Chains A and B, each alone.
Chain A
């Protein structure tokens, strides 16, 4: 596609429910990243995939968060038993090759609201 695509653009859920957020990176990009952006805050790194290597999960805030990337392309970020503090914009980005000194291409994000 022309850019990084994320869905849904908005998600409202009830506390305790599970949610899945989807990211479709730019075709040919080997690296994919998930960030979280809370109101008035910077971009918080969550997880990083590079090719077929094991993902770097060092940024995941708790074991309720997980992500997978199937076939080296589409990625899904799953949040189990959502809490109100999980409310944020979740941004996905991809880059041509390995991090960190690479230009990141971001999607428009998924606005998650946990009631």
Chain B
């Protein structure tokens, strides 16, 4: 089955700086890569996703890049703000998989220092 590794587990950055979270996956059949943000006491919320026919996708201050050859994808947050503090999860799935075809990383706790 798919294995998703996520790094770092904790990331502390100064407000206004950029943050980068990286994930690798093992199954070359994976073709969908969502990122979820989980704030304290809440469930995860989808913030951006990318499909394997695209190398990069941007939405305001967040962007995701995908390298299919290397089987890794990254989340980039620019001009970080206090409200960006949360746990971020990457995930990978493939069209032919069932519900267990979506595999999550273990999460990155992003801390924005004022």
Task: Give A contacts to B, CB under 8 Å.
Answer: 4, 33, 40-43, 45, 47-48, 50, 56, 58-59, 91, 93, 99-101, 103-104, 106-109
In the complex, B61 has a CB within 8 A of chain A: no
Does B104 lie within 8 Å of A48, measured CB to CB? no
In the complex, B43 has a CB within 8 A of chain A: yes
In the complex, B41 has a CB within 8 A of chain A: yes
- C-alpha spacing A33/B102, complex, angstroms: 11
Chain A at the B interface: SS class: loop
Complex contacts, B70 vs chain A, CB 8 Å = none
Determine how close the nearest CB of chain A comes to the CB of B103; give it in whole angstroms: 8
Task: Report how many A-B pairs have Cβ atoms within 8 Å.
Answer: 71
- C-alpha spacing A48/B98, complex, angstroms: 9
Complex contacts, B34 vs chain A, CB 8 Å = 103
Does B102 lie within 8 Å of A91, measured CB to CB? no
**Contact residue among A42, A58, A109 (Cβ-Cβ distance under 8 Å from B43):** A109
> Which residues of chain B from 10 to 42 have any CB-CB distance to chain A below 8 Å in the complex?
31-32, 34, 36, 41-42
* Interface core residue of A48, A91, A104, A107 (most chain B CB under 10 Å): A104
Does B98 lie within 8 Å of A56, measured CB to CB? yes
Complex contacts, A45 vs chain B, CB 8 Å = 99-100, 102
Complex contacts, B91 vs chain A, CB 8 Å = 43
Known: A42-B105, A101-B93. 9 other contacts (CB 8 A): A56-B100, A91-B43, A93-B43, A100-B93, A100-B97, A100-B101, A101-B31, A103-B46, A109-B43
